[in-house]
Amino acid sequence: MPDSPTPQTHEHWWTRADRYLHRNRAIALATKIVVTLVGVLVLTAGLIMMVTPGPGLVGIVAGLAILATEWDWADRWVQAARRKLVEAREAAEAMDPAVRRRRIVITVVSVTLVVAAVVGYLAVEDWPSWAVSGWDKLQSVFGFVPDLPGM
């Protein structure tokens, strides 16, 4: 009776890809450079989205996760971020619903006041003419800037 085959462990595709991309020094260096550039780009986009509309935290975690494929320091940061995420989720679940509602109301009122202030400023300063004159100044400095439509 033949011996039964030994069970083979299933290897994830990214483990095989990592081994393939690090099989010689030149490819390993190119991989590290590309992964670092992409990770820094995504991380920077996440940081920018922290002060502009967008999923900033998702971008930061995604950038760190990309960097963690090549850098140990990034992996430590991802692990720390995961711990902080669990702590934040537990704190949010433990929060009193009245406090949560009050924070939501304060946030909505604050955003409404900021939007109203910006719209008021643009209305008082005659935004369309201000924007057109600014565009004309930009064209005078940089000749490659196109004309505005309908001008």
Encode pLDDT of 12-30 as tens digits: 777 787 788 778 888 888 8
Range of the domain at 19: 1-94
Determine the Cα–Cα distance for residues 28 and 22; give it in Å rounded to an integer.
Answer: 4
Please give the structure tokens belonging to residue 118. Answer: 């910006």
Same domain, 83 and 99: no
pLDDT at 13: 76
Distance CA 113, CA 129 (A): 24
Report whether 64 contacts 89 (CB < 8 A). Answer: no
- Considering the domain architecture, whether residues 72 and 17 belong to the same structural domain is answered as yes
Instruction: Identify the domain boundary among 94, 114, 135.
Output: 94
DSSP 90-118: HHHHHS-HHHHHHHHHHHHHHHHHHHHHH
CA dihedral 112, 115, 118, 119 (to 10 degrees): -100
> In this structure, are 49 and 86 located in the same domain?
yes
pLDDT confidence tier of residue 137, bands split at 50, 70 and 90 = confident
The whole-number pLDDT of residue 42 equals: 94
